[in-house]
Amino acid sequence: MPELPEVETVRRGLEKPLKGQAIRSVGLRRKDLRIPFPKDLGQRLTGRVIESIGRKGKYLLFHLDSEDVVIAHLGMSGNFLLNKKAPEIFGKHDHLVMQLDDYHLTFNDPRRFGLITLAKAHELQKHKLLAAMGPDPFEKAFSPAYLKEALKRRKGPIKPVLMDQTLVAGVGNIYASEALYLAKVAPGKPAHKVAAAAEALVADVRKVLQAAIESGGSSLRDFMQVSGEGGYFQHRFNVYDRKGEPCRRCKTPIKEIRQAGRSTFFCPSCQK
DNA sequence: CCTTGAACCTGCGGGC
DNA sequence: TGCCCGCAGGTTCAAG
């Protein structure tokens, strides 16, 4: 489920309640997700205080009052659930459970494409999972000049390129389609031919992500909603999952194609 | 280096 | 109703 806006929404939902909370106990209900849990995860977490929660691309970063940072990725189906007290029974896919001072935190992930691991704060940037990542779209480094240079090197269609996390971190399958719709760029257009539109693309990627974050933020005000029904917010998409429905600009039916194994949606008339 | 396809895993909806 | 298939918002690895 989660692309950058969903991850950011989860981050915002967790930050206020969890900041300053000490971890009283940790329960592991299996030994791995996409990668193994660190063997000493429990002991390195127990007794620590969560000082802040950050984000890089689609990764959540829980900074502790030790040298450790918890790196978490939601994969396709992961979520953090926050409750006032421990649930009576564990859900089928509750893999990591933590009792904090005032809350009970659960990491649930049916498909187990997510991950939770630890890194030393001073080597966070060099951590294997983060080292190759491109800039977060909201960082200055994701500039028109930067994107333009990157696009010039790519011959393939622009849409999968936008999803390359080493280029820019956080754009996934939904918002790649949505950003290209805003920019009026056809998803199949060779990346190097889109270089001229780099400035618009940077702006539109940010615009579409920002709008999604804001719509999420408004429907997710407190922790009850982090743990709440439905989980993720409903954003009104322009093209994603709208095959056959009229383009909101020109009424042309939205088309669906497959690129690099993923579904892509676009307006064949106003995206050139 | 770039690009694509398959693999990882579970759940759900559609078609028969 | 039940079964089978394909598909799902992510990443990684192999191979072309």
In whole angstroms, what is the distance from residue A104 CA to residue A201 CA?
41
Q: Residue A17 pLDDT > 90, yes or no? A: yes
Is the pLDDT reported for residue A137 higher than 80?
A: yes
Q: How far apart are CA A267 and CA A35, in angstroms?
A: 39
Model pLDDT, residue A219 = 47
HSE-up (13 A, CA, CB side) for residue A119: 20
Is A195:A202 a contact under the CB 8 Å cutoff? no
Per-chain mean pLDDT for chain A: 93
pLDDT band of A217, cuts 50, 70, 90: low
Give me the sheet containing A23-28, strands edge to edge. Answer: A23-28, A94-100, A104-108, A79-83
pLDDT (tens digit, 9 = 90+) per residue, A218-264? 544 333 445 444 444 556 899 999 999 999 999 999 999 999 999 99
CA A40 / C1′ C3 distance in Å: 44
CA distance A56 to A102: 27
Q: Of the ranges A67-76, A80-89, A162-171, which one carries the lowest mean pLDDT score?
A: A80-89
CA A161 to chain centre: 17
The DSSP output letter for A129 is: H
Average pLDDT over residues A75-94: 93
User: How does pLDDT run across A164-213, given as a tens digit for each residue?
Assistant: 999 999 999 999 999 999 999 999 999 999 999 999 999 999 999 999 99
Residue A222: what pLDDT?
A: 39
The CA–C1' separation of A74 and B6, in angstroms, is: 22
Q: State pTM to two decimals.
A: 0.95
What number is the average pLDDT over the span A57-71? 98
The tokens for A45 are 């977490």
DSSP A119: E
For chain A, what percent of residues have pLDDT higher than 90?
91
Distance CA A153, CA A127 (A): 26
Lowest mean pLDDT among A3-12, A147-156, A226-235, A236-245: A226-235
Side chain identity at A105, as an amino acid letter? L
Q: How confident is the model at residue A215 (pLDDT cuts 50, 70, 90)?
A: confident
Q: How far apart are CA A25 and CA A127, in angstroms?
A: 26
Active site residue A8: no
**Distance between CA atoms of A168 and A259, rounded to whole angstroms?**
18
Strand C and A58 CB separated by under 7 Å: yes
**Amino acid at residue number A188:** G
CB of A155 lies under 7 Å from some atom of strand C: no
pLDDT score recorded for residue A236: 86
Q: Which residues pair with A69 in a beta bridge?
A: A63, A119
Cα distance between residue A83 and residue A226, in whole Å? 9
> Confidence band (pLDDT; 50, 70, 90) for A52?
very high
Query: Quick check: A56 CB within 7 A of strand C?
Result: no
| A160 belongs to the catalytic site | no
